[in-house]
Structure 1
């Protein structure tokens, strides 16, 4: 049988323990907002600065001093049908030398960029811009700034993660150019017919007054090490952001009162 007197005498002790626990948790949470958050922001800035350095920024008037890198094209599906070498200078594709073997006749077709044209890789520039925007968000809260709530930290982390996700997506899934876009770029001398997508069989184009139809598609790729490095930095940064958000959410699970 329950002893009412005993239960009543234990209530103050339980209440006191609960109050002490809350005070301790609030002190730990305040330390998180004041100290650990800024430590993570500093770590994020260091990582993203390294990522930003991988994107070569030409100095006005000294564009030609950027290092030129040659990359061999390869594919696991096209066998020896497509071979080539690309020359990359920063974010600009300055030269392409490609040999295409026609399957039925074994004839080899040779293609090169026009010497007076260069292909600026917009996805690299976009990714760099997203990294810079993430850095601007992080630098907007210096070490003297005091975060007032976990929600404020989460909002900042969400903003940084959005920019990093966009940067990663631009590098991993770049948009394909259509035939009209490729023709307008002036990289090659042909006229597209209609608005067919470049990489789809059945697309039509004109070259030297002759009309052609795309019958086969071969996809070739090359690995750019410094771009691979940036993807690693993006992954590390996204993990740091998520870990900080997870720590904040842990505190809210200890009591009904949400500290943010």
Structure 2
């Protein structure tokens, strides 16, 4: 009995020494690794030429799709904003080629990139917000920090991997495509209500909606072509809900008009530095989870939690 108790005491002493080493040494090594990785991720969002050196560098992305040649163009990304757009749209009804571009005084903010960058900055702040000689006293303290960092990293990743689901009226009312009120050029060929266009010159036809978003590491442009449903239409009108990408046949109301999507064109281009950022997020989350697992393993050796 005495021998067993002695063995237990020795084992406990060894485990406590290993746990102290984990808190005082390995935790700090992991935190330094996390800091290095996340600062590399932050650099991907701070493009060369940004900050005090002047405006962010402009990057041109050629839009393409293996399934359609109805839409072609180039989007210019400057930091977290689209500074230029140059798009050609071939109308399927008459093969008319339309060209539209951003007005020179307009940019379109990509909120997904801005939010992801802000979450990375917050994660770095959480890791940096202590003295270099700070010593963790308990495992619970480490777990709390890891949970907070992982929350910011998960939010950053989700902002890029999960585009917003929008209804067609929300797309129609966005500043990218249309706004309510104000003058609009006459478009006698369109059967839809006139709607002013803020971003584009020349103005988009009123039977065209445009949406731009980030999906994983890709910059995506979706063009919806619409037609009005006649009051005597026999179609069963069912307004569509929110979606990242609406399909032909989707319906919605705009003012007093009922509209239906007739054609959908999606083109995209890969943003290499967003792919890098997503890899950094994944590696960082794995490091956080591994450290949490090591901390938690020690609880199985005691009937009480030593942290």
Report if TM-score (shorter chain) is over 0.5: yes
CA distance in 2, matches of 1:187, 1:60: 28
CA distance in 2, matches of 1:161, 1:195: 35
Gaps of 5+ in 2: 180-196, 210-238
Q: CA deviation at 1:195?
A: 11
CA distance in 2, matches of 1:252, 1:196: 48
**Contact preservation (8 Å) 2:65, 2:266:** yes
Distance change in 2, residues 1:219/1:231 (3 Å)? same
CA distance in 2, matches of 1:61, 1:137: 27
Q: How does 1:41-190 map to 2 (within 5 A)?
A: 41-56=31-46, 58-59=50-51, 62-63=54-55, 66-76=56-66, 78-175=67-164, 176=166, 178-182=171-175, 183-184=178-179, 186-188=198-200, 189=203
User: Match of 1:6?
Assistant: none
Residue 228 of structure 1 pairs with residue 228 of structure 2 = no
Deviates more, 1:236-245 or 1:87-96: 87-96
CA RMSD of aligned residues (A): 2.9
Q: How does 1:27-42 map to 2 (within 5 A)?
A: 27-42=17-32
Q: CA deviation at 1:142?
A: 3.3
Please state which structure has a larger fraction of its residues in strand: 2
CA distance in 1, matches of 2:75, 2:160: 17
- 1:171-218 residue CA offsets vs partner (Å, 9 max, x unmatched): 1223256221232493144779x9997954334669xxx997532222
Deviates more, 1:240-249 or 1:94-103: 94-103
User: Match of 2:192?
Assistant: none
- 1:135-173 residue CA offsets vs partner (Å, 9 max, x unmatched): 111012333112121111111000000000101111122
- 1:86-134 residue CA offsets vs partner (Å, 9 max, x unmatched): 1111111111122223334333332222222111111111111101100
Residue 258 of structure 1 pairs with residue 305 of structure 2 = yes
Gaps of 5+ in 1: 1-10
- Normalising to structure 1: TM-score of the pair? 0.83
Q: SS at the partner of 1:94?
A: strand
User: Match of 1:237?
Assistant: 284
Please state which structure has a larger fraction of its residues in helix: 1
> Could you say which structure has the larger radius of gyration?
1
- Normalising to structure 2: TM-score of the pair? 0.71
CA distance in 2, matches of 1:134, 1:223: 26
**Contact preservation (8 Å) 2:70, 2:89:** yes
**Contact preservation (8 Å) 1:38, 1:143:** no
Q: SS at the partner of 2:89?
A: strand
Q: How many residues align?
A: 244
User: Match of 1:202?
Assistant: 251
- 1:43-71 residue CA offsets vs partner (Å, 9 max, x unmatched): 100000011111126336822xx321111
**Contact preservation (8 Å) 2:251, 2:258:** no
Q: How does 1:12-27 map to 2 (within 5 A)?
A: 12-27=2-17
